[in-house]
Amino acid sequence: GNSVTQMEGPVTLSEEAFLTINCTYTATGYPSLFWYVQYPGEGLQLLLKATKADDKGSNKGFEATYRKETTSFHLEKGSVQVSDSAVYFCALSETGNQFYFGTGTSLTVIP
């Protein structure tokens, strides 16, 4: 079956630190991979995505590369800001009908 495993949180970083949130997946076929972000009191919104192996998704300084050989889609940012404090979810979808989410990683960035 399909599943997503992501790094347990919470994660606390100082401003301008480097961020990595690990995500690995299990899928029966060739899924699209996503990172969603949830700011406090809001719904989830798409941060970035990749639809095939070796694709790199990027947005707002965040990047993630679809690695088929390691079944991974790790989220990285070179220099985090206080405004990046949120919960980050890794997700996959094979059919476009069903999406499978990881448990979420809470990030707090302190000044």
Partner 1 sequence: NAGVTQTPKFQVLKTGQSMTLQCAQDMNHNSMYWYRQDPGMGLRLIYYSASEGTTDKGEVPNGYNVSRLNKREFSLRLESAAPSQTSVYFCASSERELNTGELFFGEGSRLTVL
DSSP string, 26-44: E-SS--EEEEEEE-TTS-E
Using alpha carbons only, what angle is made at residue 70 by residues 25 and 51, rounded to the nearest 5 degrees? 60
- Residues written for the chain: 111
Q: Give the one residue of 98, 107, 109, 110 binding partner 1; rule: CB under 8 A.
A: 98
Structure tokens belonging to residue 67: 């690695």
- Matching residue, tokens 């480097």: 18
> Helix, strand, or coil here: 9?
coil
Task: Give me the 20-49 binding string for partner 1, x by CB under 8 A, dash otherwise.
Answer: ------------x-x-x----xxxxxx--x
Confirm or reject binding of residue 66 to partner 1 (CB under 8 A): no
Q: Are 96 and 108 in contact (CB under 8 A)?
A: no
**Selected range binding partner 1 among 11-19, 56-64, 67-75, 94-102, rule: CB under 8 A:** 94-102
Minimum distance, C-beta of residue 44 to partner 1, in the bound complex (Å): 5
Q: CB under 8 A: which stretch of 18-26, 54-62, 70-78, 101-109 binds partner 1?
A: 101-109
* Residues found near partner 1 in the complex (CB under 8 A): 32, 34, 36, 41-46, 49, 51, 89, 93, 95-99, 101-104
